[in-house]
Amino acid sequence: MARPPLVLGTWGNISATGKGTDWTASARFRDFDGVTRQVRRTGASRQKAKDALVEHLRDRVRLHGADLNGEARVSILADRWYDTLLGKRANGTLDVYRRTIKNHVRPALGELRVREVTVPVVDRHLVAVEENVGKATAALCRVVLMGMFSLAVRHGAAAMNPVRETENVTSTPGLIHTISREEVVLLRAHLQEWDASKDRGGRQRLTDLADVFDMLIATGVRTGEVLALRWQDVDLRSEVKTVTITGTAVHVRGEGLQRQPKPKTAAGFRTLALPPFAVRMLVRRTAEATTEWVFPSAVGTLRSPNNMRTQWRTFREALEYPDWLVPYTCRKTVATMIRNGQDLDAAAQQLGHGDTRWTRDHYTGHIHVGPDVRDLLDQFGTD
């Protein structure tokens, strides 16, 4: 009877021949084209030759994704899925996915085998995250798990994606806080006074929050996009003064603060007309500029969004402003003003959104306007 073929991506017994410091280990390996080949590796001893062959065969299997099977642990699947995203997703997105895997997916599901992850298992996990952490985190976990098990299906490690059958996690947008015109005027004054004052140690503050706030409220761009602005992105010579958003400041794990040469989304590449008060501020800053950055750090380098938010929080708490007043509030304020003064499409374009639904749901809120049926309803009041 003919010997049954090896399973794809597996090998038979390993043998070794040689003497002294010249040894060759070999084994039959059924490759991914279905052909069984003799594979050899050498080493300075019998064991070293065998170890080199095993390492090569494992790499060969891993290269084809064959180590992703039903017996693979979910932690391995998570690592493989994350690796497929490198270079394809923004650094900020990758960091969010990495933290989600580390804090929620790996502790709860990491030791399970891929075949053990069923719809009820995923459902229970998402419900637990929603109850213990919140809907937003549960929704993010579902996105990560969906991607992971899509990869498992593509590699034959799972027959179906169990996440797809779970109930979608939707978070209800919270109250959208904005700042009124009068509040903006007062806030600008307070920020200018704050920057001009001294800290508790008697040192002159170097926070430079007032000008950053002016740019935020004049454009509605993200904090990282403002801090990544270079003077080459600003046009103060044309009749209509503009700023072009071409990047954002991000913290890259293991590499530190960097300017990412693209905004958060494809729609984020945009040129925005500047209102006169922002133009006056930028003209003043050009006379003082010593670096390529429009809003540099105190030592002239790229400014950290995290540090800027910490400085803002110190200012907010000192003047007893509400907790919801953060730099991102400017973005919602700008969107709401443009929506009210023009339309939702204009607001979405200003913010760099590709879909007005996102602008409506998370930045400006819904406006429910009923139909004009006054003539019909007036019949109820007719004698």
Please write the tens of the pLDDT for every residue from 85-94: 887 777 778 8
The two three-digit tokens of residue 1, written as one number: 């009877």
* Residues 130, 277 within the same domain: no
| CATH for 233 | 1.10.443.10
Report if residue 305 sits inside a domain.
yes
* Residues 279, 221 within the same domain: yes
Mean pLDDT to the nearest integer, 305-323: 93
- Among 135, 165, 195, give the residue marking a domain's end: 165
Q: What is the pLDDT of residue 282?
A: 95
Residue in this structure with the two tokens 């549960």, named with its chain if needed: 138
Residue in this structure with the two tokens 């062959």, named with its chain if needed: 53
- Cα atoms in the Cβ-side hemisphere of radius 13 Å centred on 173: 14
Mean pLDDT to the nearest integer, 308-335: 92
* Residues 112, 80 within the same domain: yes
Residue 314 has pLDDT above 80, yes or no: yes
Which position has the higher pLDDT, 87 or 152?
A: 152
Number of domains present in the structure of the chain:
3
Domain that holds residue 38: 15-63
| CATH for 115 | 1.10.150.130
Q: What is the pLDDT of residue 22?
A: 86
- pLDDT digits 0-9 by tens, 206-229: 899 999 999 999 989 999 999 999
| pTM confidence score | 0.62
Q: Do 188 and 319 touch, CB atoms closer than 8 A?
A: no
Q: What is the pLDDT of residue 350?
A: 84
Report if residue 357 sits inside a domain.
yes
pLDDT exceeding 70 applies to what percent of the chain?
Answer: 88
Q: What is the pLDDT of residue 237?
A: 93
Quote the mean pLDDT of the chain. 85
Q: pLDDT category, 118, cuts 50, 70, 90?
A: very high
Q: What is the pLDDT of residue 200?
A: 84
Q: pLDDT category, 178, cuts 50, 70, 90?
A: confident
* Residues 316, 238 within the same domain: yes
Report if residue 172 sits inside a domain.
no
* Residues 197, 335 within the same domain: yes
* Residues 258, 156 within the same domain: no
Instruction: Annotate 123-147 with b (16+ C-beta within 10 A) or e (fewer).
Output: eebbeebbeeeeeebbbbbbebbeb
Return d(Cα 267, Cα 288) in angstroms, integer: 32
- Among 116, 136, 165, give the residue marking a domain's end: 165
* Residues 36, 124 within the same domain: no
Residue 1 has pLDDT above 70, yes or no: no
* Residues 156, 185 within the same domain: no
Q: What is the pLDDT of residue 367?
A: 53
Report if residue 337 sits inside a domain.
yes
Which position has the higher pLDDT, 380 or 178?
A: 178
Report if residue 1 sits inside a domain.
no
Q: What is the pLDDT of residue 171?
A: 60
Report if residue 237 sits inside a domain.
yes
Return d(Cα 254, Cα 248) in angstroms, integer: 18
Report if residue 8 sits inside a domain.
no
Return d(Cα 238, Cα 226) in angstroms, integer: 21
* Residues 224, 336 within the same domain: yes
* Residues 57, 125 within the same domain: no
Tell me the sheet residues that pair with 29: 11, 37
Residue 370 has pLDDT above 70, yes or no: no
* Residues 95, 160 within the same domain: yes
Report if residue 173 sits inside a domain.
no
Q: Do 60 and 32 touch, CB atoms closer than 8 A?
A: no
Q: pLDDT category, 378, cuts 50, 70, 90?
A: low
Q: Do 303 and 270 touch, CB atoms closer than 8 A?
A: no
Q: pLDDT category, 278, cuts 50, 70, 90?
A: very high
* Residues 113, 146 within the same domain: yes
